[in-house]
Structure 1
């Protein structure tokens, strides 16, 4: 029989529903696995491991007994929450020493949805400072690396989540993405990374991203697992500035339907810089296109769909968003920031207000914003 961590999240949930597996037993399996793996690697994936809290939560879920037809198929399954998201009673540092030891008094919509669905969080996954860069190297901690080659990064800013899923530390995990922060780690770690449409997952209670491109999403080893977690996270709450239309069914059901013949647009020209594509990447691209064609889909080459000047707009927005996080900090707090964060914050502070109003621009990931000395807020 396969090890428990080799099963998909949905397979684990099915065993729990049938009574063949207990949430406490499954949680202990993952905690023991984390203890066996090299701690430098595990610490690169997790910003904070809450072993005792996970055990308590697993016992609570187990005490509920068999779940009904309306319950999530992931009830009782372990997961983890990105360190940018508020978790009441659990340390949340936003990847920064500025917020070391910060414990939120409230949970955000993502955390509440995961708890309501009966999943068991093992802790907070690592993220770079304020979720800004596309790599996950928070100050004073090991970097998040891909388990396929630990000399290579796991990407960012959801690098800790992707590293944890790829290494079998959790079967499925939450991430967030504004400019690639789920998709980049998924690519680095060989996973499914899904950034859903705006308004699909609530940003309650902070709504701190004025650009509107940053949203939570899912990271998993299969499309079905990613869809099942999206079913958990999706939904609107009072105060949401926008929301996506209600789906006609579950995302898990949609993932199981035959798609029919698709028209798939492809391009292999770099968007951001004028560089040569590595031959190995070109070969993988062509192999993928051939595979899609052999499956009956129409694969059509298209010009780069993003104008080059959009990169400058994105960079402007990125810097301004960072400035919203760093400007309220006191001088002694700014001294704790990483050089990139300080530089981006200063760059953003120099942007005139009209120039920062780019409704089409994006940001690199969710970032916290200080509304006062004692209460950080987060834009996820």
Structure 2
């Protein structure tokens, strides 16, 4: 028998708008699931049950807003007034902000209801979610494995049926890595697409907000809310326009798709592509060519990427105003990134930023013959909790690269990208591919991902889904 969390976010919204269910009923359903399963999944680090039920009751009976009555969770890097915001760090155990950030307020304005804060690694710096202050975020399919990061709690919550959808942020793969790890949909928008988290205010323009959801249409719905929630404060913005939900319906125009399993880390690290990840690309290629699209393997051999990206990532960490005493309290990978960043000269930083601009231009040029480019989503399958070395920071960084070498370059290039599951591995775990669009090309990759989703058909849910 179907339960409320079996419905897609769009179906839940339809039931809310017709009065078939009410906001209090839906919130109570998800809070009950969180109470039962959060300890085993590690999705939430703060649950605001009383506030969520009060807000649900205060919404009244007249639907107002694109997310009216729909639950979500705030990533624990995003401030919500009166709710502890720890940034995944014991340095902020007691921090309670007095103002709500736009990333949360926009969803409030659309009628959404926050159920609490979702798990994230310290300051969102890593592609896995294991911290000193909370249990790790776990893969709902296999709780021995981690859920990826840095939006690991958000992806785990969606994958386990604890939320219908969730906002995340992505500076080097932090939406796509966990979404692919747990077998849900994740979308990183173009730089300049979302007004309040455009990427234009971060070193290298890396970090943007975006959606995590169970279906492509649900992700497009949340993207539309994020894009339309605020006025633009920068002159630069991504070309094209929504509503992106429209791209998920109807026939998909024939597209030319480039396919590569080359990553820009290949020359500098030992990247080994798991056979299941390679097979997922083959499956997606067959599905797309069967739909009338052209898929062509192309030669892409970027150079000098590793030094450029690690310099920018260290520069980003070095911006944090941490004292020597505080650096002794943070995770070793955080301390290493900050200290390494502080050793960089101004000339080194400027050289890396210039190299990033060149990489952006060269990548867009290389990809320009195609409507979209497809890569594996991850190089390796989900790894056990503790696999990422907690003591050796340099080794830890290399492990993250080997796990997800196809993510960060999309941030440097400022392009939109989406991960979508297309098959099951031998254990029954979903395996995903990544679709990368042209600048401002969210509509195209959303349409292609929706077509893949339809052709694959419904995939099974993890055992925790049924409880």
Q: Structures share a fold, TM > 0.5?
A: yes
Q: What are the equivalent positions in structure 2 for 1:209-358 lying under 5 Å apart?
A: 209-235=202-228, 236-237=230-231, 239-240=233-234, 242-245=236-239, 247=241, 249-272=242-265, 273-304=269-300, 307-325=302-320, 328-357=321-350, 358=353
SS at match of 1:127: coil
Matched, 1:46 2:41: no
Counterparts of 1:40 and 1:260 in 2: how far apart (Å)? 43
Counterparts of 2:235 and 2:248 in 1: how far apart (Å)? 28
SS at match of 2:52: helix
- Cα deviations across residues 1-45 of structure 1 (Å, max 9, x unaligned)? 41101110110000000011000000000011111226142xx21
Counterparts of 1:22 and 1:349 in 2: how far apart (Å)? 52
Distance apart, 1:274 and its partner CA: 3.7
Q: Which residue of 2 aligns with 1:31?
A: 31
- Cα 1:100–1:18 change in 2 (3 A) is same
Matched, 1:76 2:72: no
- Cα deviations across residues 289-320 of structure 1 (Å, max 9, x unaligned)? 11211121101101236x13112111000011
Matched, 1:18 2:11: no
- Cα deviations across residues 201-222 of structure 1 (Å, max 9, x unaligned)? 2337997523212100000010
Distance apart, 1:88 and its partner CA: 1.5
Counterparts of 2:308 and 2:300 in 1: how far apart (Å)? 17
Distance apart, 1:231 and its partner CA: 1.1
Counterparts of 2:253 and 2:318 in 1: how far apart (Å)? 46
CA contact (8 A) 2:4 2:29 kept: yes
What number of residue pairs does the alignment pair up? 354
- Cα 1:242–1:91 change in 2 (3 A) is farther
Unpaired segments of 5 or more residues in structure 2?
A: 358-407, 412-467
Matched, 1:164 2:157: yes
- Cα 1:318–1:204 change in 2 (3 A) is closer
Bigger mean CA offset, 273-282 vs 223-232: 273-282
Instruction: State the TM-score, normalized to the length of structure 2.
Output: 0.72
- Cα 1:298–1:157 change in 2 (3 A) is same
Matched, 1:59 2:57: yes
Counterparts of 2:124 and 2:287 in 1: how far apart (Å)? 35
Q: What are the equivalent positions in structure 2 for 1:138-217 lying under 5 Å apart?
A: 138-203=131-196, 209-217=202-210
Distance apart, 1:237 and its partner CA: 3.4
Counterparts of 2:273 and 2:330 in 1: how far apart (Å)? 34
Counterparts of 1:14 and 1:263 in 2: how far apart (Å)? 35
CA contact (8 A) 1:176 1:217 kept: yes
Counterparts of 2:409 and 2:117 in 1: how far apart (Å)? 22
Counterparts of 2:325 and 2:43 in 1: how far apart (Å)? 28
SS at match of 2:72: strand
Counterparts of 1:81 and 1:364 in 2: how far apart (Å)? 24
CA contact (8 A) 2:89 2:133 kept: no
Distance apart, 1:283 and its partner CA: 2.3
Counterparts of 1:270 and 1:254 in 2: how far apart (Å)? 28
- Cα 1:200–1:275 change in 2 (3 A) is closer
Instruction: State the TM-score, normalized to the length of structure 1.
Output: 0.87
- Cα 1:167–1:174 change in 2 (3 A) is same
Unpaired segments of 5 or more residues in structure 1?
A: 366-380
CA RMSD of aligned residues (A): 2.2
Distance apart, 1:364 and its partner CA: 11
